[in-house]
A = this chain, B = another copy of it.
Amino acid sequence: MPIPTALDLTRDVVTLTADLCDIASVSTQERALADAVEAALLTLPHLDVIRDGNVVVARTELGRSERVVLAGHLDTVPLTDPPNIPVRRVDGTLVGRGTTDMKGGVAVQLALAARVPSPSRDVTFIFYDCEEIEEEFNGLKRIGEQQPDLLDAEFAVLLEPTNGGIEGGCKGTLRVDVVTKGISAHSARPWNGHNAIHDAGDVLARLTAYEPATVHVDGLDYHEALNAVGIRGGIAGNVIPDVCTVSVNYRFAPDKSAEEALAHVQQVFSGFDVTLGDCAIGARPGLDQPAAQAFVEALGLPVVAKEGWTDVARFAALDIPAVNFGPGDPNLAHTDDERCPEQQIEDALAALTRWLA
């Protein structure tokens, strides 16, 4: 086992972000960073530290009336070629892999753990692995399934980049294949067959005519969407195609269950063969509940709905309202140009300190 690179949690949060980035942690290769995070947290006597694979959980046990979760993932997408770490500081911006997605957020978590030993509510810090790859490897998913008590709380904050704003909950996502069946024939004699691609025209017509709803949930507006994300059909240039498959993605408000979302899509495509691909429900922001209201009030920042699906939904699955709040522009995530304004990292730490101190 390699000797962990030591992290000094007393350094300023921007330098701490840089230190975290400089320990490469591409998905499935998070061990060195998880070791460093665990070792640093173990130096803080007010925290109970639990290690499970490459997930590190640290909890205060102060007997507060409320518990909140602050969660962030340790992994990054693959390094650039050549690697852009160690990160550089350029005109007040931190440049390099992980600066936006999401070691700025992880640095804020660690700084809070070190600097707020007696928070106003009990805090569970969760650092997890494999967020950037197939869901089956996701560390937060695994803990939620195997040790859901570790996630238990009145409220959760996921420190994914939101450009410093608060994005509440998230929409769900469902994928189906809408399939038309025909009869193949030589294309010189199409009357001997039936064209499945032509039949898909009605599927596309329904998508074009579809008017997506805007749904108000717990004080936020979620904009639903129904889109073809793929279409395929055809056997050869001289053959009437016997099957055409339209892959459709429904992004639905967090007031709907998976069953309700599927029923809606089945209704839109009634008369067609609809096959469920995958589905992940959304997350309610819970802004009607005291824990969330206290958070928003303490931060004093505007709140909008999170349109994309994020791991906040794993808390929603446990009936824990959750929001996204973290430094960095999400549009720069995964790009070779990944970078984060240093001020956003400092501001995020200051905002969460206002809430927890």
- Listed in ascending order, the chain A residues whose CB lies under 8 Å from chain B are 171, 173, 175, 186-191, 195, 197-198, 200-201, 204-205, 207-208, 223, 225, 227-241, 244, 246-247, 249, 251, 277, 307-309
Contact = CB atoms under 8 A, between A and B. Distances in A.
21 contacts: A173-B187, A187-B227, A188-B308, A189-B225, A190-B225, A195-B207, A195-B228, A197-B227, A197-B229, A197-B230, A197-B246, A201-B207, A205-B205, A229-B236, A229-B240, A230-B233, A230-B241, A231-B232, A232-B232, A232-B234, A237-B247
A207 B188 CA distance: 15
Given A195-B228, A205-B201, A231-B197, A309 B237 contact: no
Given A204-B201, A208-B198, A244-B231, A188 B237 contact: no
How many identical chains are in the complex? 2
Contacts of A249: 187, 237-238
A188 B208 contact: no
Given A188-B171, A249-B238, A231 B233 contact: yes
Contacts of A231: 197, 200, 231-234, 244
Which interface residue of A173, A187, A232, A277 has the most chain B CB atoms within 10 A?
A187
A229 B232 CA distance: 11
Contacts of A230: 197, 233-234, 237, 241
A225 B188 contact: yes
Contact of A237 (B175, B195, B197): B175
Contacts of A308: 186, 188-189
Contacts of A223: 191
Given A187-B251, A188-B225, 12 more contacts: A173-B238, A186-B307, A186-B308, A187-B225, A190-B225, A195-B227, A197-B207, A197-B228, A229-B241, A231-B233, A232-B232, A237-B249
A229 B225 contact: no
Nearest to A250: B187
A223 B241 CA distance: 19
A155 to B, nearest CB: 23
A191 B247 CA distance: 19
A275 B237 CA distance: 15
Nearest to A232: B232
A229 to B, nearest CB: 5
A201 B198 CA distance: 9
Nearest to A189: B307
Contacts of A189: 225, 307-308
